[in-house]
């Protein structure tokens, strides 16, 4: 009996040891996996680093590219497009005008009643509509027919306040936020699509012509008075209320910048110099690239998988369309190489663009003790039923790295523009007042992003100059700005001027 008891004890001891060894191995494996998570996180943080010296290099590169783009067509990755807007709104504009704002996955139609300096914008009404995904890659006429159908229905809802004098045609400012080769103030050919659009038969066509043909197909009588980029619309809207606005930046689904340049500083401009001595330049800065940009393996893979590889590099690391996608790609690597979400990679995590930037912003803003918002987003979007607090903290860290890089690079770009126009330093001992008008959901709604951008710009400018540089939200500037430019270029304005001088 004694021998049996001993044998049983030995067997039990072996079983206990085996179970203990298994637990140790699992813990070692688990700690090894977690070490890999931290390794991926740290490497990403290093690759995204934006110390002030790097930001100055980016700003200098931006200024150099601006000069090159102004010197000749195709001389730079920055297109530096001449807008034909040489007079921004003054505040004297009066009348009733429409605006159509096509700039991303949504578009808006708007009507604005202007009352001159005294009353400014008396009334505005608008309707926003999402563009069905299939129209973003379909045929040109299908997209414009859809837009005009919404516009025509909106026109049909005009109230008594919006009354046209007899014999007058409705006039519209068309904000079209894609790279366009402007031919005149009211005509321009599409250079290429961005922001997920890819409609081949619109490229090299006059987009105003495409819109007008769609209007004719439904019998809508309306004159397109001005074709503007959303950034130029924001610049016009900003200047309408603040005469010190010199730069406009869009940070939304996509990104761009426009600014007021001295006409004699544009070597590629061969026409007569405008009376104002100024010309608004549409930079198309989303296409900026430089060896100084801190790019990671995730940025390179995102670019390769995009509709336009090698293009819009700055846009792909700072704009709302892509920030959430960068987050998804880092999380996917953590899931595949370090079992971040457990032994099985969540199938939803493999779907490109499933993590949108508003979701990233919501997680980044989570201040609850257990980061409940992060947990619910992971559950609702990626179908990860359970996530630990330390996992959620990693997600927050990733959001912070991605948003901070984007915000600081945006600030470097703005600083580069201010350097180009001599607004980065005091002049004769005094700093000129310079206002940057901002628009776009990323800047407006992602607080950590916008605060980081503003503090980084201040850091670049220094305390003295930054006191005279103001960043303002010019909400809805692109829509109202287009209507303002339609007003300041109305066909009836010329008739009235002729009448007054005759």
As annotated, the active-site residues are 108, 177, 230
CA distance 155 to 125: 11
CA 212 to chain centre: 27
Please answer whether residues 103 and 252 qualify as being in contact, where contact means their C-beta atoms are separated by less than 8 angstroms.
yes
CA dist 224 → 57, 119, 221, 337, 488 (Å): 42, 25, 10, 55, 13
CA distance 239 to 398: 37
Provide the token pair at 356: 């949108």
Please answer whether residues 453 and 411 qualify as being in contact, where contact means their C-beta atoms are separated by less than 8 angstroms.
yes
Please answer whether residues 20 and 260 qualify as being in contact, where contact means their C-beta atoms are separated by less than 8 angstroms.
no
* DSSP conformation letters of 375-401: HHHHHHHH------HHHHHHHHHHHHH
Please answer whether residues 454 and 445 qualify as being in contact, where contact means their C-beta atoms are separated by less than 8 angstroms.
no
Among residues 312, 320, 321, the alpha carbon closest in space to that of 293 is found at 312
CA distance 430 to 417: 19
Residues linked to residue 113 through DSSP beta bridges, in sequence order: 96, 123
Owner of token pair 């700039």 = 103
Please answer whether residues 287 and 79 qualify as being in contact, where contact means their C-beta atoms are separated by less than 8 angstroms.
yes
Owner of token pair 């708007």 = 110
3-class SS string, 301-352: HHHHHCCCCCCCCCHHHHCHHHHHHHHHHHHHHHHHHHCCCCCCCCHHHHCC
Cβ neighbours of residue 286 under 8 Å, at least 6 residues apart? 194, 254, 255, 256, 312, 314, 315, 319
């Amino acid at each position: 009996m004694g021998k049996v008891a001993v044998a049983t004890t030995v067997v039990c001891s072996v079983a206990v040891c085996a179970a203990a060894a298994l637990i140790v191995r699992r813990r070692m494996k688990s700690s090894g996996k977690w070490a890999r998570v931290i390794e991926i996180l740290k490497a990403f943080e290093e690759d995204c680093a934006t110390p002030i010296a790097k930001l100055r290099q980016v700003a200098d590169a931006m200024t150099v590219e601006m000069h090159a783009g102004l010197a000749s067509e195709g001389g730079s990755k920055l297109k530096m497009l001449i807008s034909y807007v040489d007079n921004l709104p003054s505040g004297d504009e009066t009348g009733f005008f429409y605006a159509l704002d096509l700039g991303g996955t949504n578009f808006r139609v708007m009507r604005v009643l202007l009352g001159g300096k005294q009353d400014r914008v008396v009334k505005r009404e608008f309707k926003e509509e999402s563009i069905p995904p299939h129209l973003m890659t379909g045929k040109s006429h299908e997209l414009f027919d859809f837009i005009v159908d919404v516009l025509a229905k909106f026109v049909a809802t005009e109230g008594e306040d919006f009354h046209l004098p007899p014999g007058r045609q409705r006039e519209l400012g068309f904000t079209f936020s894609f790279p366009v080769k402007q031919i005149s103030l009211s005509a321009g050919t599409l250079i290429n699509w961005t922001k997920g659009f890819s409609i081949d038969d619109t490229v090299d066509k006059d987009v105003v012509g495409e819109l007008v043909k769609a209007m004719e197909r439904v019998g809508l009588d309306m004159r397109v008075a001005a074709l503007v980029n959303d950034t130029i619309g924001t610049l016009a809207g900003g200047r309408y209320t603040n005469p010190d606005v010199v730069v406009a930046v869009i940070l939304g689904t996509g990104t761009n910048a426009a600014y007021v340049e001295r006409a004699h500083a544009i070597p590629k401009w061969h026409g007569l110099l405008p009376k104002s001595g100024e010309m608004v330049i549409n930079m198309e800065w989303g296409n900026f690239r430089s060896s100084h940009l801190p790019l990671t393996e995730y940025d390179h893979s995102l670019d390769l998988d995009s509709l336009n590889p090698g293009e819009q590099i700055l846009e792909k690391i700072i704009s709302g369309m892509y920030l959430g996608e960068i987050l998804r790609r880092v999380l996917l690597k953590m899931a595949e190489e370090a079992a971040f979400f457990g032994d099985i990679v969540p199938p939803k995590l493999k779907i490109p663009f499933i993590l949108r930037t508003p979701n990233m912003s919501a997680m980044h803003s989570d201040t609850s003790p257990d980061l409940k918002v992060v947990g619910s987003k992971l559950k609702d979007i990626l179908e990860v039923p359970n996530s630990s607090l330390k996992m959620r903290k990693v997600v927050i860290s990733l959001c912070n790295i991605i948003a901070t890089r984007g915000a600081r690079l945006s600030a470097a770009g703005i600083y580069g523009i201010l350097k180009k126009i001599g607004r980065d330093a005091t002049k004769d001992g005094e700093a000129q007042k310079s206002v940057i008008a901002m628009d776009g959901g990323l800047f407006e709604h992602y607080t950590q992003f916008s605060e980081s951008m503003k503090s980084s710009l201040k850091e670049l400018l220094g305390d003295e100059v930054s006191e005279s540089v103001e960043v303002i939200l010019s909400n809805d500037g692109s829509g109202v700005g287009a209507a303002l430019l339609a007003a300041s270029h109305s066909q009836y304005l010329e008739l009235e001027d002729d009448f007054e001088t005759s």
